[in-house]
Amino acid sequence: MAERDASVERPSFLARIVERVLPRAPDFYALLNAQCDVVVAGSDALVAYMASGDPAHAERVRALEHEGDALKRKNLDVLYRSFSTPLDREDIFQAIVAIDDVLNYAKATVTEMEVLHVPPDEHTRAMAELMAVGARALATGFKRLRDDPASAERDAEAAHKSERNTERIYRQAIAELFDAEHYLTTLTAPQRETAAEMKVLLEPHARGDAEGVQTAVGFVVEILKRREVYRHMSNAADRVAHAGDVLRDIVAKIA
């Protein structure tokens, strides 16, 4: 039998008793950081989808959302089983849920765009890019909590700024969406096909009337579909801001 290495110091009997009664707290900083990293990857995939319309990037967003859900469940389970935590338990819970919500809205956005056959445009791309900025701010802020929590306040503010900038783009997008002249001058081939599909509803009309009504109906349909997508992007920005609020609350307690 191999001899035990005398240089390896075994914990004392008292230390073993303490470890059994008061087990070491899990590294919740690392757990939250892992969630943030998935959100950053998911927001990057969303930007790639909005820039290209490639379904592979949409699938990547969905895969990362599933990964984020698994991390959330794991982290909540660790929290429920933990005897002690380095931060307020409620704050850890709020952080776990808030970080995950960002990915949920990213997934909902790409799924709805595919279901409604709405391709990305300059507004969805710009809003996705701001979401990525906010996600990186959250990741940086949560990483600072362990050693330099006071500086994470700047990152929480950066997350909020990304939401405010997203709202400006959202309002501009909605204004253009309800502008009939803008719609007519920027009609894409898919939008023309959508309008053409309405002709079955207009058969009783004279040909000249039908074409006008057909375009108008297509305009309304486009408004309804694209407004839903823009609203999802706005809600995703709200989730980034909410996660920033949770980060700020934690900073206020420990900095």
Report yes or no: 220 and 200 within 8 Å, Cβ to Cβ: no
Residue 220 CB neighbour total at 10 angstroms: 12
Whose CA is closest to 91, among 32, 30, 38, 162?
A: 32
pLDDT of residue 1: 44
The residue type at 60: R
Q: List pLDDT tens digits, range 166-199.
A: 999 999 998 888 765 655 566 566 655 655 544 5
CA distance 107 to 86: 31
Residue with tokens 């900025």: 133
φ, ψ (nearest 5 deg) of residue 115: -65, -40
Class of domain 24-146+153-173+236-254: mainly alpha
pTM, 2 dp: 0.79
Tell me the mean pLDDT per 10 residues along the chain, length 255.
Answer: 50 53 76 97 98 96 97 95 89 97 95 91 96 98 95 96 96 81 61 52 49 54 84 95 97 90
100 alpha-carbon distance from chain centroid: 7
User: What number of residues does the chain have?
Assistant: 255
pLDDT of residue 178: 72
pLDDT of residue 183: 57
Report yes or no: 30 and 22 within 8 Å, Cβ to Cβ: no
